Structure 1
Amino acid sequence: MSSQAQPAVAADLRPWTDPDATPFISVKGVSKRFGTFTAVSDVSLDIYRGEVFCLLGGSGCGKTTLLRMLAGFESPTEGKILIDGKDMANVPADRRPTNMMFQSYALFPHMSVEKNVAYGLLREGKSKPEAMDRVAQMLKLVKLEPYAKRKPHQLSGGQRQRVALARALVKQPKVLLLDEPLGALDKKLREETQFELIRIQETLGVTFIVVTHDQEEAMTLATRIGVMTEGEIRQIGEPREIYESPNSRFVADFIGSVNLFEGTVASLNGAQAVVDTADLGPVTTTAPEGVSVGQTVTLAIRPERFALTRAAPAEGTPNTCRAMVRDMGYGGHISSYRLKLGNGRIVSATQSNRLRDEDPIMWDEEISITFPPPVVRVLTR
């Protein structure tokens, strides 16, 4: 995954770790049904002031419906939503302390950049001098001052995205809701804009709730991530926690690349377990609480956790096996491998090119794989 550059709240405050901290937004048992279809099912979560919280999931998982309920565009079938301690049940969208930035940006094509940004302020009755002063501050923040008189069609995709962001922020909402905000940008521009979003959020201190299907985007932006599927949130955690310690097979498989192996717990010795697998043989690992001998479990190992060597590991080294290199690809900073195990199973591995010598492992070589016990995640669901 890409390296993370998270807002200061993630490292400095982390209020979600304090049981006495008061959430800024509380979603309590919220469900949304459209006829017989349940789009959101009994979702509860707390979001704290100053967070960049990402709702991550595939198409149709319910993340945008949840965002629209926060915005007031949809009403929950069950449950309630509180923002800054106030129940939003009877508060219309235009009276909520939120603003929404849509995936399409929805800019007015006949208006200049500054008029697009000023539109909401003027509609709510702000004087033109006051509105334009605030617009100027916002255009400076998003680095669009030289483009104030241009029309949207005269801007690049990244510039239009920043106009939409400025328009959403100029009304000084307490919460900014962003629906796939970077989806229309190419990969390089998307990566650059992620850091711009973080800079702007840190400057203003606004709480961001971001809907995205892009795992790397969520990992880069978020203080915490809520992984959604089928209308439910399957796990909430900081990016490192979600990636390194998934709580289920679904989350492990959805976030990044992973190798999954079925096995049976053969023995337990305190927190240490030995799991028999058809693919890797006996695997030594750390077992979560509640695991019992004879239980069927899934082992999750990230590709970068496999160490690849030509030489056989020292005798007694846990978790080793032999494999044949079937495919490899050079990716600049890493090389990716598809390895065939003794029983024919294909697994994925990656190796940093910073660690490679002048004689790298190549196609059709037989090599050793090692993976220390702590990198093996045992999943029971």
Structure 2
Amino acid sequence: MSDTAEKRPGPHKPSGWAVPGGDPYISIQNVTKRFGEFVAVDNVSLDIYRSELFSLLGASGCGKTTLLRMLAGLEEPTEGRILLDGQDMVGVPPYERPVNMMFQSYALFPHMTVAQNVAFGLKQEGMGKGEVEERVEQMLGLVQLGRFARRKPHQLSGGQRQRVALARALAKRPKLLLLDEPLAALDKKLRESTQFELMNIQEELGVTFIVVTHDQEEAMTLSTRIAVMNEGVIQQLGTPSEVYEYPRTRYVADFIGSVNLFEGTVSGTGAEGMRITAPEAGIDIHVDAGQTDARAGQSVAVAIRPEKIAIAKQDDKPSQGENVIQGIVDEIAYQGSLSIYQVRLADGKLVRVTTPNLTRTAERPIDWEEPVWLSWGRHAGVVLTS
């Protein structure tokens, strides 16, 4: 993907990152963190811009929380430096940084009321009583918890405790808010609704948010941009749509959502596209031109998202002349809004296909053990060389 494509705005309002030449608000420069022989973060360089809602996404142990802790000042880089608004943060203690951190556990004081929890940091800074009360009222209003000010944390739901922790973190008006798995303790439905609340609060305040999460859907929903990490290294950086639609590595393609990967060899290139001979698919796969500079004879993988594959009954073979394969339906999963088909090809490879359920019907158009045709356009495949 070109440098120009990386600067297309994502689903939220464009910030400095979307403007060529914009100055980064946070600049992580060649940062490495070692714990003995173990390298947790490996020579990471990353620019984050003012008012972004940025996500560090990866599996457990990938280094994302270590990077967040270095931003907070809870860990020091072994090598490299971190700049916040142009100021070098290396050696600056946590309490002197214009940064606040919201922990996964929320860390609320159980013996204090909601209002007292939010006020705690303000009182520690010596703010006057009237100003503290005004700020607490403002923060609780922002997270829609004003009527719960006198309750203790144990009297609140998980989502309400999450919002109290957010209000407390925002009360000191940090320039940067770090959130470590902020919604992990919530159930799926509450997590989804809270994601939109978090986005609205961030947009209203304009504070730069950096979120650490292992949840791909959460990162896709929240973020202006996502950095996908693996083994201490950033594998890919981009908007949610860029990372999903144009993964650069097998790891990113497989980690973000569901994907079908066909291993093969480039057997032809030209102005109209590229041809990959993929034995496990039983066909030559054709993709659009200009995706990659892979050469004839090079080993590659073709990534195809399940929703980009059409499925049809045996007597309804697609008329297109390429990217058509036959298989047998092995499994079907009904998920309300969509159905998932696992189709077994001739050599045993399973291909995942998702289709939206556009009509209400008790009968399945395609059933178990039924022969089917799978097809997709040239635009659907992404060629991966690593």
* 2:32 and 2:78 in contact (8 A); partners too: yes
Q: Percent identity?
A: 56
Residue of structure 2 equivalent to 1:319: 323
Q: Which of 374, 381, 385 is equivalent to 1:376?
A: 381
Matches within 5 A, 1:1-381: 10-270=11-271, 272-280=273-281, 281-287=283-289, 288-310=291-313, 311-354=315-358, 360-381=365-386
**Shift, 1:364, TM fit:** 1.3
Tell me: CA distance 1:69–1:349, structure 2 relative to 1, closer, same or farther (3 Å). Answer: same
Contact 2:268 2:296 in 1 (8 A): yes
TM-score where L is the length of structure 1: 0.95
After superposing the two structures, state which structure 1 stretch, 218-227 or 316-325, moved more. Answer: 316-325
**How far does residue 314 in structure 1 lie from its aligned partner after superposition?**
4.6
Alpha carbons of 1:297 and 1:160: their partners in 2 closer, same or farther (altered >3 Å)?
same
What is the Cα deviation at residue 92 of structure 1? 1.1
Distance 1:70 1:362, change over 3 A: same
Are the structure 2 counterparts of residues 273 and 329 from structure 1 closer, same or farther at C-alpha, using a change threshold of 3 Å? Answer: same
Give the distance between the partners of 2:377 and 2:284, measured in 1 at CA: 13
Name the counterpart of 1:3.
none
The RMSD of aligned alpha carbons is 1.5
Q: Which of 130-139 and 306-315 deviates more?
A: 306-315
**CA displacement 1:328-371 (0-9 Å, x = unmatched):** 01100000111011222111111110168765111111111111
Runs of 4+ in 1 over 6 A off after TM superposition: none
1:240-295 Cα deviation digits (max 9, x unpaired)? 00000000000000101111110011111125111111122111112533211111
1:286–1:378 contact (8 Å) kept in structure 2? no
- Structure 1: give runs of 5+ residues left out of the alignment: 1-7
**Could you say if the C-alpha distance between residues 176 and 354 of structure 1 is closer, same or farther in structure 2, counting changes exceeding 3 Å?**
same
How many Å separate the matches in 1 of 2:11 and 2:349?
Answer: 39
SS at match of 2:24: coil
Q: 2:342, 2:11 → 1: CA distance? A: 35
| More divergent stretch after superposition (33-42 vs 278-287) | 278-287
The residue number in structure 1 matching 2:5 is none
State the TM-score, normalizing by the size of structure 2: 0.94
In 1, the alpha carbon distance for the partners of 2:75 and 2:12 equals 34
Structure 1 range deviating more: 312-321 or 277-286: 312-321
Equivalent position SS for 1:104: coil
Letter of the structure 1 residue corresponding to residue 210 of structure 2: I
Q: Is the 8 A contact 1:9 1:50 kept in 2?
A: no
SS at match of 1:60: coil
Q: Distance in 2 between matches of 1:110 and 1:315?
A: 70
Q: Mark the CA change 1:248 to 1:356 in structure 2 (over 3 Å): closer, same or farther.
A: farther
Counterpart CA distance in 2 for 1:316 and 1:253 is 28
Rounded Cα–Cα distance in structure 2 between residues aligned with 1:197 and 1:328 = 35
Q: Secondary structure at the match of 1:199?
A: helix
Deviates more, 1:271-280 or 1:243-252: 271-280
1:101 and 1:181 in contact (8 A); partners too: yes
Amino acid at match of 1:262: E
CA contact (8 A) 1:265 1:296 kept: yes
Between the two proteins, the alignment pairs up a number of residues equal to 374
Report the Cα offset of residue 305 of structure 1. Answer: 0.9
Q: Deviations over 1:215-234 (max 9, x none)?
A: 00000000000000111111
Structure 2 unmatched runs, 5+ = 1-8
2-side partners of 1:272 and 1:315: how far apart?
20
Rounded to whole Å, the distance in 2 between the matches of 1:314 and 1:213 is 39
